[in-house]
């Protein structure tokens, strides 16, 4: 029986997607359009595990697909750098959600960048290379609310160069074209940034209250 990797290669070849192979002295980056319409979350996760659409995968990175157990129409939380388990950022995020009667463990937490290198920050181009994966996740989950944590995550999700201060404080659902039905989108600061600057807590509180109202 062919291996899963071979079956995947055959599937991509059938769909006309070019497959690049890593070479010892040279690295090729897959730039062909992705064909994701028929993929479920497990299949999408497998494709992310093998992705080489940008240079991020060569920098000692690990893959980050999601955290949490998706339920019917969950809150989807999108960060520009993953929130690690059992950290101050995780606790702060859990506390923020609890204040609006949401639980972190019942939300769906993902990152705008799927190849994570803790030694450096991702670039907008790298996040944009991951955007098709992120949009397909949203299509499959059909969330009741999308809470975006961080400027880079907001820029890549919404395909904009606007700064976070221009994006927060309002519902951005009119910008996101994923489903026929509108999904509320609220942008706020990443928990890491809030820990570094406690003055941001008031703004995050306002944004999460806006998210709660939009999800009703």
What's 159-191 look like in SS3?
Answer: CCCCCHHHHCCCCCCCCCCCCCCCCCEEEECCH
Q: Are residues 81 and 165 in the same domain?
A: yes
Task: For residues 83 and 79, give the distance between their C-alpha atoms in angstroms, rounded to a whole number.
Answer: 8
Q: Which of 74-88, 121-135, 198-212 has the highest mean pLDDT?
A: 198-212
Bridge partners (DSSP) of residue 148 are: 78, 187
Average pLDDT, the chain: 80
Q: Are residues 83 and 182 in the same domain?
A: yes
Alpha-helical (H) ranges within 15-150 are 41-49, 88-98, 124-141
**Nearest alpha carbon to residue 194 among 161, 160, 164, 166:** 164
Task: For residues 23 and 36, give the distance between their C-alpha atoms in angstroms, rounded to a whole number.
Answer: 26
**Nearest alpha carbon to residue 93 among 77, 116, 112:** 77
Task: For residues 75 and 73, give the distance between their C-alpha atoms in angstroms, rounded to a whole number.
Answer: 7
Q: Are residues 156 and 103 in the same domain?
A: yes
Q: What average pLDDT does this structure show over 20-31?
A: 38
Q: At what angle do helices 41-49 and 124-141 cross, to 10 degrees?
A: 160
pLDDT at 177: 63
Q: Are residues 130 and 179 in the same domain?
A: yes
Q: Are residues 38 and 69 in the same domain?
A: no
Structural domain of 119: 62-215
User: What's the pLDDT tens digit per position in 108-123?
Assistant: 999 998 887 777 788 8
Q: Are residues 24 and 68 in the same domain?
A: no
Q: Are residues 178 and 94 in the same domain?
A: yes
User: What's the pLDDT tens digit per position in 155-164?
Assistant: 999 989 999 9
**Nearest alpha carbon to residue 113 among 72, 63, 38:** 63
Contacts (Cβ under 8 Å, ≥6 apart) of 144: 73, 74, 75, 183, 184, 215
Q: Are residues 87 and 46 in the same domain?
A: no
User: What's the pLDDT tens digit per position in 29-45?
Assistant: 445 567 788 899 999 99
DSSP letters for 134-148: HHHHHHHH--SEEEE
Half-sphere exposure of 152 toward its Cβ, with a 13 Å CA cutoff? 19
Q: Are residues 32 and 76 in the same domain?
A: no
Q: Which of the two residues, 82 and 201, has the higher pLDDT score?
A: 201
Domain of 71, CATH number, reads: 3.40.470.10
Grade residue 183 by pLDDT with cuts at 50, 70 and 90: confident
Task: For residues 65 and 114, give the distance between their C-alpha atoms in angstroms, rounded to a whole number.
Answer: 6
Grade residue 134 by pLDDT with cuts at 50, 70 and 90: very high
Q: Are residues 87 and 115 in the same domain?
A: yes
Q: Are residues 79 and 150 in the same domain?
A: yes
Domains held by the chain: number? 2
Location of structure tokens 């996740």: 137
Q: Are residues 69 and 26 in the same domain?
A: no
């Amino acid at each position: 029986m062919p291996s899963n990797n071979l079956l995947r290669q055959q599937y991509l070849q059938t769909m006309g997607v070019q497959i690049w192979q890593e070479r010892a002295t040279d690295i090729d980056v897959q730039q062909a359009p992705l064909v994701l319409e028929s993929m479920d979350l497990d299949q999408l996760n497998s494709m992310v595990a093998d992705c080489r659409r940008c240079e991020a995968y060569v920098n000692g990175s690990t893959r980050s697909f999601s955290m949490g157990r998706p339920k019917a129409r969950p809150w989807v939380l999108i960060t520009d750098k993953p929130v690690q388990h059992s950290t101050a950022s995780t606790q702060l995020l859990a506390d923020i959600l609890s204040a609006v009667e949401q639980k972190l463990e019942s939300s769906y937490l993902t990152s705008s960048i799927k190849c994570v290198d803790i030694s450096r920050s991702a670039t907008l181009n790298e996040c944009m290379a991951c955007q098709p994966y992120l949009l397909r996740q949203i299509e499959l989950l059909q969330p009741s609310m999308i809470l975006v944590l961080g400027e880079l995550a907001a820029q890549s999700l919404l395909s904009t160069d606007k700064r976070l201060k221009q994006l927060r404080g309002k519902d951005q659902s009119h910008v996101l074209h994923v489903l026929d039905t509108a999904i509320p989108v609220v942008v706020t600061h990443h928990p890491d940034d809030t820990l570094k600057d406690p003055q941001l807590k008031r703004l995050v509180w306002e944004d999460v209250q806006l998210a709660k109202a939009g999800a009703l």
